[in-house]
């Protein structure tokens, strides 16, 4: 669909107006209702309804993805003491080989020390 066609759909049946309507639950009845209300052909009303439904579903998926990312962003791993020792050793080796920048190392060390400070909050499989 071209940009001009998208604009025709938006301009002819604005979402702000459609959202205030009491659309029927059934697709065919909703298309007929839009056709009658806005005096447009069935194919235009059908395209607009499809467009709105795609955007609603996309918005739902975006919300789900954002919630997941937020949960993963705040996820703090529950590493065992041995795992932490190995990570620190690997960091030292990578730093010595020039494969890890000091700024990245400090960030990782901050995460590790944060875990130690809040150890009482963690359940580990040790």
Give the start-to-end residue ranges of the domains of the chain.
3-73, 81-121
CB 90 within 8 A of CB 96: no
What span, in angstroms and rounded, lies between the C-alpha atoms of 23 and 21?
6
What span, in angstroms and rounded, lies between the C-alpha atoms of 103 and 109?
10
Q: What's the per-residue H, E or C state across 4-31?
A: HHHHHHHHHCCHHHHCCCCCCCCHHHHH
pTM exceeds 0.75: no
Residue with tokens 């901050």: 110
Tens digits of per-residue pLDDT, 74-125?
A: 666 677 889 888 988 888 888 788 776 666 655 655 555 544 444 433 333 3
Tens digits of per-residue pLDDT, 35-63?
A: 999 998 999 999 999 998 898 889 899 88
Under the banding of pLDDT at 50, 70 and 90, the label for residue 73 is low
């Amino acid at each position: 669909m071209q940009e001009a066609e998208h604009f025709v759909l938006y301009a002819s049946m604005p979402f702000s107006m459609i959202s205030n309507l009491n659309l029927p639950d059934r697709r065919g009845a909703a298309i007929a209702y839009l056709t009658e209300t806005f005096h447009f052909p069935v194919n235009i009303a059908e395209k607009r309804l499809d467009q709105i439904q795609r955007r609603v579903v996309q918005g739902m998926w975006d919300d789900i993805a954002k919630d997941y990312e937020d949960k993963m962003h705040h996820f703090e791993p529950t590493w065992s003491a041995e795992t932490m020792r190995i990570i620190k050793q690997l960091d030292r080796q990578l730093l010595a080989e020039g494969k890890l920048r000091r700024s990245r190392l400090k960030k990782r060390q901050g995460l590790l020390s944060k875990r130690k400070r809040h150890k009482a909050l963690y359940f580990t499989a040790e």
